[in-house]
Structure 1
Amino acid sequence: MSKTAGVGDNLRQLRTAKGLTLDRLAGMSELTRGYISLVERGLKAPSIAALMRMAAALDVNVATFFDPKAAAGPRYTLHRHEDQGAAPAANGSFGLFALAAARPHKSMEPFLLRPPFKTSPPSVRTRETIQRAFHSGEEMLFVVSGRVAIELDGEEFKLEKGDCLYFSGETPHQVNSLGRQRAEVLIVIATGKSEKR
């Protein structure tokens, strides 16, 4: 099973366990029913913002989508390169690797992102692209390799390996790879609170 399908299966199980329909979860997360359905069937890799919105709606940590049986409260998590747990890049989508999925109660969400190449101008973006391009909390983006373009509320920045950008996640944003190879970007999202249950 692909990691995209694994995230989708976990999402479906969480949604049904809470007695929510696709329409109800769509309304609660401000995403469309069709988008969530594609994610659940493993046909679309969800964005970080979409995962955060669905996690908030389901009242779970984002890590639950990657590892629903994560042990509660380990002292630390160690992520090794060969253990990449990811939603693989496919069909113009992006690769998304949760770097601390085993630690469910945390105030930061770290990811390794392989952004897609830009396929259409901003004026042609769909409602879903715009909807999934912002989230609560703050975000730090560090370019590990390659080059990226990031749009922040209509302004575009071009970043290279070693560049770092810190901004409010509530600012509409979109990241795309530049050049011939997909970039790798470390993204850390701080929600401002540790989820202790």
Structure 2
Amino acid sequence: MLDVSRTAGLGLNLRRVRTEKGLTLDRLASLSELTRGYISLVERGLKVPSIAALLRLAKALDVSVAYLFDPNSAQAPRYTIYRQREQGAIQTRDGTFGLSALAAGRTRKMMEPFLLTPPHKSAPRASHAGEEMLFVVSGRIVIKLDGEDIVMDKGDCLYFAGETPHEVRSLGRQKAEVLVVVALASSDTA
């Protein structure tokens, strides 16, 4: 089920930052290497961006991913805490894909942590700057990493270069939950 308020909020923040920086959809598409149509869908709250897309948009806009989720965040706190009962995952309209930014309140960080609920069908292939770590919190997944299928069970962890093309999907009846941490090179952080 799509939580329109959270998806729309991310889209509205993205549109606001883009227009404040004087960028057209076409220019942001060029800078982020995403399509104009895709960005338009995200801005209207009709598409949940992938982690790779969020990283590309944030880099193109020269802001942190956290800023796209919460542009009103104050000066970086000593710590941030994510409480599931107070937050909700942004999900696709058909409920196949869920994504929660786990440290949205903290800016200028070297890591971007997310809780991912991968669909049963492969999500679009991703690649991005930096390094990535996946830890299976529950369920089973298969990640296609540069063409190789790697099956992972609860408790398994995988660490790899983000530039390596990858896609992930849930296996079995229940969707998996995966902790994803993307570590950015210092020049990639905003």
For the superposition of Structure 1 and Structure 2, which TM-score range results when normalised by the shorter chain?
A: over 0.9
> What CA deviation, in whole Å up to 9, does each residue of 1:22-61 have, x standing for no partner?
1110000001111111111111100000000000000000
Aligned to 1:151: 144
1:84 to 65, 82, 87: 87
TM-score when normalising by structure 2: 0.92
Aligned to 2:133: 140
* In structure 1, C-alpha distance between the alignment counterparts of 2:189 and 2:136, rounded to whole Å: 31
Alignment pair present for 1:73 and 2:67: no
* In structure 2, C-alpha distance between the alignment counterparts of 1:34 and 1:181, rounded to whole Å: 32
* In structure 1, C-alpha distance between the alignment counterparts of 2:178 and 2:185, rounded to whole Å: 21
Aligned to 1:7: 10
Aligned to 1:54: 57
Do the aligned partners of residues 68 and 54 (structure 1) sit closer, same or farther apart at CA in structure 2, a change above 3 Å counting?
A: same
- Superposed counterparts of 1:162-177, under 5 Å: 162-177=155-170
**Does the CA contact (< 8 Å) of 2:64 and 2:189 recur in 1?**
no
TM-score when normalising by structure 1: 0.89
Once the 2 structures are TM-superposed, how far is the Cα of residue 92 of structure 1 from its aligned partner? 5.9
Extract unaligned runs of 5+ from structure 1: 120-124
* In structure 2, C-alpha distance between the alignment counterparts of 1:108 and 1:84, rounded to whole Å: 20
1:113 to 116, 131, 146: 116
Q: Which runs of 4+ in 1 moved over 6 A?
A: 194-197
**Does the CA contact (< 8 Å) of 1:5 and 1:40 recur in 2?**
yes
Measured on the aligned residues, the alpha-carbon RMSD in Å equals 1.8
Amino-acid identity (%):
66
> What CA deviation, in whole Å up to 9, does each residue of 1:69-91 have, x standing for no partner?
11122111111121224312433
Do the aligned partners of residues 135 and 80 (structure 1) sit closer, same or farther apart at CA in structure 2, a change above 3 Å counting?
A: same
